[in-house]
Structure 1
Amino acid sequence: MDETTQKKSLLKKIIAIILGFGPGIFAIGYTIGTGSVTSMIVAGSKFNMQLLWVLFLSCLFSGVLMFAYGNYGLITGETALYGFKKHLKYGKALAILIIVGITFGQWNSLMGILGISSNIIFEILALNFEGLHDYEYQIVLTIAIVIIITFYLLMLVGKYTFFEKILVIFVTLMGFSFLLSLFFVQPLPVDVIKGFVPSIPDVPGGKMLVAAFVGTTMAAATFLSRPLFVKGKGWTIKNLGQQKRDSITAAILIFIISGTIMAVSAGALFYEGKEVTHVLDMANTLEPVAGKWAVTIFFFGALSAGLSSIFPCLLIAPLLLADYQSGELDTNSKQFRIVTFVACLVALIGPAFGANPIEVQILSQVFNVFVLPAVILGIILIVNNKKVMKGYKTSLGVNVGLFTALFFSLVISYNGIVALTEYF
């Protein structure tokens, strides 16, 4: 076998591994969007690596919750909200509360995601055509409309495998872009180590960012949708081991990519005493040390993060409704088309009013934490019901993880309430 053939064979193997990634790709798509990118960049620029411990715990608990929800789906053949409604005493009320809470949070996130993605494309264009700044509002709004219409049309023709492949492309581009950015700037190793020591910055906005970190990394939508996605993948009870590996891999990748973004921001901005308040500031993360080429790489990663989040955010309300009704998602139904259309209109509110997408995004992540305790409590009750789980016993380790995650979510929810009262 000659060298060229070997290289082609290796490339094919790498592509096969990437495309073979399971439902965990949706977890990354939900989690590492512009919300996560924005939170990590703002935190890195303001507080260096001080909030790395929050990211680590969030990813750890996310892995446990993905595993628990995935196992429930494979063992029972049911989806989460449908199971809550069917098996829990107040399950119907709990399910409706979760649907409303998550939809509100995700649609708010969608506003920020679309706003930031549109602004990123505008800034890339403005780097080459300076005269565009006179028409910033009109161009950003037009870009937002084009993006959301394109994604809506893709939603109408797509199936699970189609969505999965598009997400794989965006997430892969995002990961490589941010890892490449890390070669240009790095934080001090001692600051990374200190970041694992729990502490909350005692400054305005510190509590807000802690809540935003958890809201974007421990995304309730990620866990609730897990049974639907493992079913969509065609997995059965025979795939329990594969489901476990997929959950662990997803959690590890979320931590690596998110931590990399924070590290890039800390290395480029914190030591220079610069903070991020607007979208262009995110581009400036790398410009001082690597020029416009690095800015383009970073923008490309941030844009990939945004686009990888639009699909999951548009999907979430139809997913939750389908989950509640029957446990099956029909992407050809009238309900699917109407709900996703409404989500598209909501997404345009931020760009239409010219709101600062950075602030919109961080606020939306804070709102996401309030439904988290209900989502964790529901799965604790249901996976410990032997009748529902068909005799399958949830291990002590998983239960310890779930109860610790519940306590963590309650603490962060309280922290989020305090942060919002201080903000408003």
Structure 2
Amino acid sequence: MDATANNRSFLQKVIAIILGFGPGIFAIGYTIGTGSVTSMIVAGSKFNMELLWVLLLSCLFSGILMFAYGNFALITGETALFGFKKHLKFGKALGILIIIGVTFGQWNSLMGILGISSNIIFEILALNFTGLRGYEYETVLITAIVIILVFYLLLLVGKYTFFEKILVIFVTLMGLSFMLSLFFVQPLPLDVVKGMIPTIPDVPGGKMLVAAFVGTTMASATFLSRPLFVKGKGWTIKNLDQQKKDSITAAILIFVISGIIMAVAAGALFYEGKEVTKVLDMANTLEPVAGRWAVTIFFFGALSAGLSSIFPCLLIAPLLIADYQSGELDTSSKQFRIITFIACLVALIGPVFGANPIEIQILSQVFNVFVLPLVILGIIILVNSKKVMKEYKTGLFVNIGLFASLLFACVISYNGILALMEYF
């Protein structure tokens, strides 16, 4: 009886910890979607663990940027783009440029996310109903329409706490699924260590994947949206320490889950000389070594990753525009409904034209890196302004991290330009 009570008590504590997760859950939702899953799987299958160092740096800088943006919001009571517009000389132009750049990247990503999620559901159905193979396009398109319609309706009735709980469920399922997958296949420990040595694979697609890694892990949307989500959580200047812990926890979880996905792909595909070019290849990552059951687990994780990203991607444009206008997001406004509806239509472009969602997803992550230097530069100026931050002073370590992340973002943006020139 005591053992049962203890087990129930432990389970209740775990559930309480998961449900108590703060705005960092949105960071994970933005970051580890099908974009991240796709990039990690393709990288693991092509280059083993060689790009682990890129992931580590991206997560380190992401944690610092989440912390900086969150602190700015709690100390000043202002949001990111509203703060840019109010305090920076060229803040209005900068804000508009960032809105256009981030929205373009996230809406492109949304096309890939919906395409991959719809294809995953199709593959699950086709495993049980083989007759569907002849109707792949129709099934994928109908599935995509149903998914995006359901999420749009949920957006119309939801509030911050509702979105947060939905994301907690999807992110938890995703993390558990990929961790379970790791029990079936692992990379060699020596390859993991070698992955910490900075190198860019000198092969076609190497530069593209490095840029995609950073585009999905150091997503501008994650940092820009953090002040609004911090405010939505109801946090104030009294929650500075909690905000710091939330940023660190989110960055660590992003690294761990993303690293596990790469490791699973490396262990299952790289050593076999196989690469990922379409969605079914991702599903087959585990089948050779663990059978159909493992494929189902992996599918479930990838689908959870996709669904956890749809909410944040649909929210990003109205969120940034509301941020720029007033710093307040009204999910019941006409503006919110119209913009999210347009986002839903954009998301369907990929499935309607039957485009390869893997290629769309990788390309969309590359586009995300180009606005990143502006997003970092803006917060560096704000958090070091005595007029803005008043008696609060940004620490030396945080400043070193911010300037290092700016340098890293500039290098990766240049790398992204070279990658696109090679691609086109």
**TM norm structure 1:** 1.00
The gaps in structure 2 that reach 5 residues or longer are none
Supply the distance in 2 between the matched residues of 1:413 and 1:195 (Cα, whole angstroms). Answer: 22
Residue matched to 1:228:
228
| Alignment of structure 1 residues 101-140 onto 2, 5 Å | 101-140=101-140
Whole-angstrom distance in 2 between the partners of 1:36 and 1:311: 16
Mean CA deviation greater in 2-11 or 362-371 = 2-11
Q: How does 1:221-300 map to 2 (within 5 A)?
A: 221-300=221-300
What SS does structure 1 have at the residue aligned with 2:387? coil
Q: How does 1:357-396 map to 2 (within 5 A)?
A: 357-396=357-396
State the AA in 2 paired with 1:264. V
- 5 Å-filtered alignment, 1:345-356, equals 345-356=345-356
Deviations 1:133-166 (A, max 9, x none): 1000000000000000000000000000000000
Aligned to 2:93: 93
- Deviation of residue 107 (structure 1)? 0.1
2:302 and 2:339 map into 1 onto residues whose CA distance is 27
The count of aligned residue pairs is: 424
Matched AA of 1:307: L
Shift of 1:395: 0.5
Distance, in Å, in 2 between the alignment partners of 1:401 and 1:17 is: 29
Q: Secondary structure at the match of 1:185?
A: coil
Counterpart residue number, 1:330? 330
Deviations, residues 41-98 of structure 1 (Å, cap 9, x unaligned): 0000000000000000000000000000000000000000000000000000000000
How far has the Cα of 1:225 moved from its partner?
0.4
Query: In structure 1, what is the Cα distance between the partners aligned to 2:320 and 2:143?
Result: 29
Deviation at 1:2, TM superposition (A): 2.1
Distance 1:248 1:383 in 2: 19
What are the ranges of 5 or more consecutive residues in structure 1 without an aligned counterpart? Answer: none
After superposition, what is the alpha-carbon deviation per residue over 1:11-52, rounded to whole angstroms, capped at 9, x for unaligned?
A: 111100000000000000000000000000000000000000
1:31 partnered with 2:27: no
Name the CA distance, whole Å, in 2 between partners of 1:82 and 1:102: 16
Report the residue type matching 1:243 in the other structure.
Q
Who is 1:76 aligned against? Answer: 76
Letter of the structure 2 residue corresponding to residue 241 of structure 1: D
The residue type equivalent to 1:95 in the other structure is G
Q: Work out the CA distance in 1 between the residues paired with 2:310 and 2:82.
A: 25
| Structure 2 Cα separation of the partners of residues 101 and 222 of structure 1 | 14
User: Matches of 2:78 and 2:169 in 1, distance apart?
Assistant: 29
Root-mean-square deviation (CA, aligned residues, Å) is 0.5
Q: CA deviation at 1:4?
A: 1.7
**Cα separation, 2, equivalents of 1:179 and 1:322:** 37
Q: Which residue of 2 aligns with 1:199?
A: 199
Which residue identity does 1:274 align to in structure 2?
K
Q: State how far apart, in whole Å, the 2-side matches of 1:254 and 1:7 are.
A: 28
4+ residue segments displaced more than 3 Å: none
Q: Which residue of 1 aligns with 2:15?
A: 15
For residues 371 and 58 of structure 1, the distance between their equivalents in structure 2, rounded to whole angstroms, comes to 15
DSSP-derived class of the 2:28 partner:
helix
| AA in 1 matched with 2:35 | G
Q: Matches of residues 53-64 of structure 1 in structure 2 within 5 Å? A: 53-64=53-64
After TM superposition, list the pairs within 5 Å mapping 1:314-325 onto structure 2: 314-325=314-325
Shift of 1:7: 1.4
Q: Distance in 1 between matches of 2:8 and 2:67?
A: 35
Amino acid at match of 2:198: P
